[in-house]
Structure 1
Amino acid sequence: MPDLSRIGDREKLKPKAGDEPHWHRLRQGVYLGYRPSKKTAGGTWFARFYDADNNRNKRKRLGDYGTLSGHDVFRQAKADAEVWAATVESGGELARSMVTVRDACEAYLEQKPGSIAEGVFRRHVYSDPIAKVKLEKLRRHHLRSWRKRLEQAPALVSRSKTGEKRWKERAKSTVNRDMVPLRAALRQVLEPGRPGSDAAWQEALKPFKGAGKPRDLYLDRVERKRLIDAVSDEARPFVKGLCLLPLRPGALAALTAREFDQRTRSLIVGKDKNDRSRQISLPKDTTDFFAEQVEQKPPASYIFVRSSGKAWAKDSWKRPIKEATKAANLPIAVCAYTLRHSVITDLIRARLPILTVAQLSGTSVAMIEKHYGHLVHDDSEDALSTLLLEDVD
């Protein structure tokens, strides 16, 4: 049995009768095959898996890896063969239906239905040439081209009262956020390629460094009250909810009546960025506010709804907040996330432990330290100043 990892050994191979590949054992029951071309240099790669339950071999044509050279060819073919064999071994669903990048995205959504990824795939993947690229042929240059198109796509800012769309240049932080779902979907079905090679598809999706903007726009409680008073009656409960809890707007909008328990004064945040549910204990006034919102609503109903009965979403809460911002004479850059930032800032200033703030807001301690660490440092200076001995007799 030849060693297909050795370039010299592969070049010496001759076509076998019946176009049968030369096989290289990867592990028990899993083989990588190579069939040299009769007319040109190079050849075609195959994967083979022995199905013990049915007592027969299954085979898949991997391709010629024409965009790769040297040892990269074997490394990529080996990785593809192992991924394919693993899916066959676990039931074969991916092996039969997982063909294109779009297939990988749809499989990802089956595991995470209703996630932010669904919108990203719809806007930036399904209608893009990347969607039709076969996974076995996917290379770094495909994703570099897709990323360039993503960077050049304008971002929707808002709509005027007449419905006219307003656009702005896509920020690096937005590009980073929109690349996350595709990177996650591909990682479920593809092994990372060898660094520095065109097979290293993952390298094209590395985020921009330092793209996150500092969160420095803060509204104090008086300003937040002015915003609540100025916002429309329809949006007022939702905006007030953002001012009472350090939740992402999307997480607040997704809350249902069954996730609030007035007896125990608790709220379960089930749908959020990290997909991990968490329970929050509410003070009495906040409990009373939520009790008003869920009154006579069935358990499956959203706690905060628009007049149409639909839940709030990014495209629906932007306009009322912008109009209220203008009416309350607040900074024009105020948005829904400004309220989350302001609430977290107040919790830090109240000297609530960073771990507790992170748990309440559904983020990591590292992220809290990154964006709010300077507040902790200021409080540390105040605490250390109490240790001065000048006034001690």
Structure 2
Amino acid sequence: MAKTLKEAPITTASARSKLPNGEYARRLDADAAIWYRRGKRGGVWFARWRNHGAGANYLQAPVGPANDVNDKPTDGLLTFAQAETQARQIVAKARQEAKAAAAGPVLTVRLAVETYVAERDARDSRRKGRTVRSDAGQRLRRYVLGQDKRGKQEAVPGAKLADVGLHALKESDLLEWRKALPEELKGTTEQRLINDLKAALNGAYAAHRERLDPTLPAIIKHGLKADKVDTDEAAPLARDNQILSAAQVGTILSAARAVDDEGKWDGDLFRLVVVLAATGARFSQIARMKVGDVQRAQGRLMIPSSRKGRGGKIASTPHPVGKDVLDALLPATTGRGNDEILLERWRSKQVRGSIEWERAGRGPWQFASELQRPWQEIRKRAKMPAVIPYSLRHSSIVRGIRANLPIRLVAALHDTSVPMIERHYGRWIADGLEDLAAAAVVPLVPSENADNVTVLRERA
């Protein structure tokens, strides 16, 4: 603001009532001021600040009508203190936007998410050897960016959040977006979506720190933090009916063998389910196993590490298995190179001009959804309608806990963390350690005849 700015007594209603019609100012800082304009029908507040960009020397914006009756807060009328606060906010926002625009195209949530989606799509395409759309990209397009009509899917408009500039992003923007998510959205899906958005915004901040406010990471953290569960009872990840005994796992494997034979899978389906049951590994890990990961002499399988987290993991984890598992995998290893994918399946294509299908070669398992249809047949034959493929992982973890293996070892074998094991499998940890805890029990309650006992003198 010009140094010759003449300030006027406008801080109280009484002082303003003595002023003739006109405009009067009070300095906010060296380049900005809160102004009061007095007219026949009352006074109004507005902010004016120096424009350091191209164009006019000064910019201004209305603040609101003035309370010229008294200095108490009134609906619709602003005291000097209220007007000053709003004026400072207006000036700060304008300067922030001007700074962001001067540094290049304005960085928005949409741009941050689009960049992140492109990176995830490229990464997943590189891993699968063909162009694919990542799960993260599909979620973010549907609930943030918006998407056009595709097949039977209706068009989805973009979220209001997408057009917010990162320089102006507030915690309330993120909370409003979360509140607007569909109620029928599963909790796990919602959390993955939130994690994807958080990664996109943090990635944008890391790439453009010089252009963004240093408080942005805190806004992202608090606006997208996980909700606390308001309950006194912990909700375990694994339900009781998903923890299978060894006999039940055997029933599942027998059913898988039968479905494999009937469906002419040539053992591909059976071997996949065997490895899932024997290791408790995730589908995505098993699908990447190589022939060389079957180490028959050592009696173990080498399980590739998951791609969760930020890296820094070992390439694979040894998992001891029995001779029965190694024998079941023998057809998949005999006569094959160590670098070939271990578990494959037949691919089919429709015969041109016919409704028939024919085999078109073999390839690796690609998606967990490929197991969905045969799994329906497996659990129907096993007469276990509620069991899911992930129950094999739950059961493997609980078997290790019940065998009193160190929790750290159970976590390492299943490529997860000790806190995760303790959080979701705490009940079975207590059950598995019951015998150890029982050995520590000592008599505490004195007998009724304790007063009649005579204590013998100790020897010198």
For normalisation by structure 2, the TM-score amounts to 0.56
Match of 2:237, SS state, is coil
Shift of 1:297: 3.9
Match of 2:226, SS state, is coil
Which of 347, 350, 359 aligns to 2:400? It is: 347
Separation in 1 of the partners of 2:95 and 2:235?
35
Match of 2:29, SS state, is helix
Shift of 1:228: 1.4
Evaluate the alpha carbon distance shift between residue 109 and residue 307 of structure 1 in structure 2; reply closer, same or farther with a 3 A threshold. closer
Q: Deviations over 1:340-366 (max 9, x none)?
A: 001111111011110000001011000
Evaluate the alpha carbon distance shift between residue 266 and residue 173 of structure 1 in structure 2; reply closer, same or farther with a 3 A threshold. closer
Evaluate the alpha carbon distance shift between residue 181 and residue 10 of structure 1 in structure 2; reply closer, same or farther with a 3 A threshold. same
Q: Deviations over 1:168-215 (max 9, x none)?
A: x432222112322222222122279798x9x93454433333496531
Separation in 1 of the partners of 2:395 and 2:220?
39
1:304 aligns with 2:352: no
Which of 47, 50, 53 aligns to 1:14? It is: 50
Alignment of 1:1-393 (within 5 A): 8-12=29-33, 13-15=49-51, 19=54, 38=59, 40=61, 69=89, 73=93, 99-107=111-119, 114=127, 118-125=134-141, 127=147, 129=158, 133=163, 136=166, 139-140=169-170, 143-144=174-175, 147=178, 150-152=181-183, 169-190=184-205, 200-210=219-229, 214-216=237-239, 217-231=242-256, 232-233=259-260, 234=265, 235-264=269-298, 265-274=300-309, 276=313, 277-285=315-323, 286-308=325-347, 309-330=363-384, 332-388=385-441
For 1:26, the equivalent position in structure 2 comes to none
Shift of 1:382: 1.8
Evaluate the alpha carbon distance shift between residue 360 and residue 76 of structure 1 in structure 2; reply closer, same or farther with a 3 A threshold. farther
For 1:161, the equivalent position in structure 2 comes to none
For 1:30, the equivalent position in structure 2 comes to none
Evaluate the alpha carbon distance shift between residue 177 and residue 99 of structure 1 in structure 2; reply closer, same or farther with a 3 A threshold. closer
Q: How many residues align?
A: 317
Match of 2:302, SS state, is strand
Separation in 2 of the partners of 1:36 and 1:212?
61
Structure with the bigger RCO (C-alpha within 8 Å, sep 6+) is 1
Aligned AA (1:15): N
Separation in 2 of the partners of 1:108 and 1:193?
26
Shift of 1:339: 0.8
Aligned AA (2:137): F
Aligned AA (2:399): D
Evaluate the alpha carbon distance shift between residue 236 and residue 40 of structure 1 in structure 2; reply closer, same or farther with a 3 A threshold. same
Work out which of the two has the higher radius of gyration on C-alpha atoms and give 1 or 2: 2
Identity of aligned residues (%): 23
Separation in 2 of the partners of 1:139 and 1:74?
14
Aligned AA (1:170): L
Shift of 1:246: 1.9
Separation in 1 of the partners of 2:383 and 2:112?
51
Evaluate the alpha carbon distance shift between residue 40 and residue 363 of structure 1 in structure 2; reply closer, same or farther with a 3 A threshold. same
On the 8 A contact 1:172/1:208 being kept in 2, the answer is no
Shift of 1:328: 1.1
On the 8 A contact 2:284/2:368 being kept in 1, the answer is yes
Aligned AA (1:323): E
Evaluate the alpha carbon distance shift between residue 324 and residue 103 of structure 1 in structure 2; reply closer, same or farther with a 3 A threshold. same
Evaluate the alpha carbon distance shift between residue 252 and residue 139 of structure 1 in structure 2; reply closer, same or farther with a 3 A threshold. same
Aligned AA (1:329): K
On the 8 A contact 1:246/1:341 being kept in 2, the answer is yes
Separation in 2 of the partners of 1:386 and 1:293?
47
Shift of 1:257: 2.8
Separation in 2 of the partners of 1:75 and 1:105?
30
Match of 1:307, SS state, is strand
Shift of 1:369: 0.8
Q: Deviations over 1:89-134 (max 9, x none)?
A: xxxxxx9xx9442123323555676599921212442536259647
For 1:156, the equivalent position in structure 2 comes to none
Shift of 1:11: 1.7
Separation in 1 of the partners of 2:410 and 2:390?
16
Shift of 1:223: 1.1
Separation in 2 of the partners of 1:178 and 1:7?
42
Evaluate the alpha carbon distance shift between residue 334 and residue 266 of structure 1 in structure 2; reply closer, same or farther with a 3 A threshold. closer
On the 8 A contact 1:100/1:133 being kept in 2, the answer is no
Separation in 1 of the partners of 2:62 and 2:335?
74
More off after superposition, 241-250 vs 349-358 = 241-250
Shift of 1:236: 1.4
